[in-house]
Amino acid sequence: MSKTYRTAIIGCGGRGRGHAVGIKADDRCQVVALADVKEEAARSLAADFGLNASIYTDHRKMLEKEKPEIVASCLWTPLHLPVFRNCAEAGVRAVLSEKPMAPTWGECLEIARIARESGCQITFCHQRRFARGNLLARQLIEAGRFGKIERMDLYSPPNLLDCGTHTFDQALSFNGESPAKWALGAVDTSKILKWFGVSAEGMVEGTVVFQNGVRAALQVGGPDMDIGAGVRAVGSEGFIEVLWDGQIQRAVVYREPDWQPPAFEADSHDDHMAGVVRNALDCLESGEEPVLSGQKALRATEIIFALYESVRRRARVELPLAGFTDSPFLAMLENGEFGQGNTGG
């Protein structure tokens, strides 16, 4: 019989429910506790998922009393670092955190440092890596079906931090995990959004060049996105367009007009969440790098902050990033650089 893990969920809103699906699907997870500042949210998650778990309104008390080995952290973005720190200090072995990593670059680096020094495994919920269509697209690209990938078009709904992270993660997975080399971006601040506790722009345009020479044009939010959220990877012999959840819109091999990508069975968000939990636990046991590792999330997040920093410097920004730890976007917003009164609330 495989080992079971004392498991807890912190934050029992929308994403807490998403993680509960993946946790329920894995026999190794024994859910011992649910924590939410709104007791009712935790109680209703327990009832809906048939979980016989203790309920807490203070996650630190829960960590102290229940000593979970696995925690799903499903909180608004500013809480990702402090709660991860609390978990690592309490001896949690693996934290499955919601994306994006954190509101500032320094907080993201701090998450990586805590993970490295404590040995607590951290993964970020770019669950779409487990979508069958994304796995197939990656296989086709790696097998050279479209020749050598030369450029990509990256599309995301607003905003760069909250949604851009999914598109950049998808692009990195199609591009052999090659880190970015430089980035140059522009933000449209005629409308300021506030999502999950973090202010953001309404639209971003930019260019990213990766270390392997692939060039990407990107649009995050705004009108006239031609394929919706997703990635078009263009190679020397063809191209493939894949939406976020792995829907293959078009796949063309120039010299074989009749070629079609192999058919695959449609899968769902629930299947992706089962993959998130299964792989995190497998990797905890094997010591391998998780598919959704903190290091991969950091690579996607570095692109986000490089684009923001290029807006601040009005210059192309080389990676790895150096010389700042804030969010250039939030700093500019606070300084009133996007117009009087336009501070995002």
Ligand X SMILES: NC(=O)c1ccc[n+]([C@@H]2O[C@H](COP(=O)([O-])OP(=O)(O)OC[C@H]3O[C@@H](n4cnc5c(N)ncnc54)[C@H](O)[C@@H]3O)[C@@H](O)[C@H]2O)c1
Helices (H), the chain: 14-24, 39-49, 59-66, 80-89, 105-118, 132-142, 165-174, 269-286, 294-313, 328-334
Query: Toward ligand X, which CB reaches closer, 162 or 201?
Result: 162
Interface with ligand X (CB under 6 A), residue from 5, 7, 15, 49 = 15
Applying the rule CB under 6 A, the residues between 239 and 298 that interact with ligand X are none
Query: Toward ligand X, which CB reaches closer, 214 or 280?
Result: 280
For residue 190, count CB atoms less than 10 angstroms from its CB and return exposed for 0-12, middle for 13-18, buried for 19 or more: exposed
By the rule CB under 6 A, 129 interacts with ligand X: no
| Integer Cα distance of 88 and 95 in angstroms | 8
> Collapsing DSSP states into helix, strand and coil, what is residue 150?
strand
- Tokens 């072995």 map to which residue? 93
Interface with ligand X (CB under 6 A), residue from 31, 32, 70, 74 = 74
Binding mask 156-185 for ligand X (x = CB under 6 A): ------x-----------------------
Least separation in angstroms between CB 127 and ligand X: 6
Interface with ligand X (CB under 6 A), residue from 31, 41, 87, 203 = 41
| Integer Cα distance of 232 and 240 in angstroms | 6
Name the one range near ligand X by CB under 6 A: 30-38, 151-159, 176-184, 248-256. Answer: 30-38
Q: Using an 8 Å Cβ cutoff, are 218 and 205 in contact?
A: yes
By the rule CB under 6 A, 14 interacts with ligand X: yes
Interface with ligand X (CB under 6 A), residue from 7, 86, 104, 127 = 127
By the rule CB under 6 A, 37 interacts with ligand X: yes
Of 302, 300, 329, the closest CA to residue 187 belongs to: 329
Least separation in angstroms between CB 74 and ligand X: 5
By the rule CB under 6 A, 299 interacts with ligand X: no
| Integer Cα distance of 178 and 142 in angstroms | 13
| Integer Cα distance of 152 and 230 in angstroms | 10
Least separation in angstroms between CB 316 and ligand X: 28
Residues near ligand X (CB under 6 A) are: 10-16, 35-38, 41, 59, 74-77, 79, 98-99, 125, 127, 162, 196
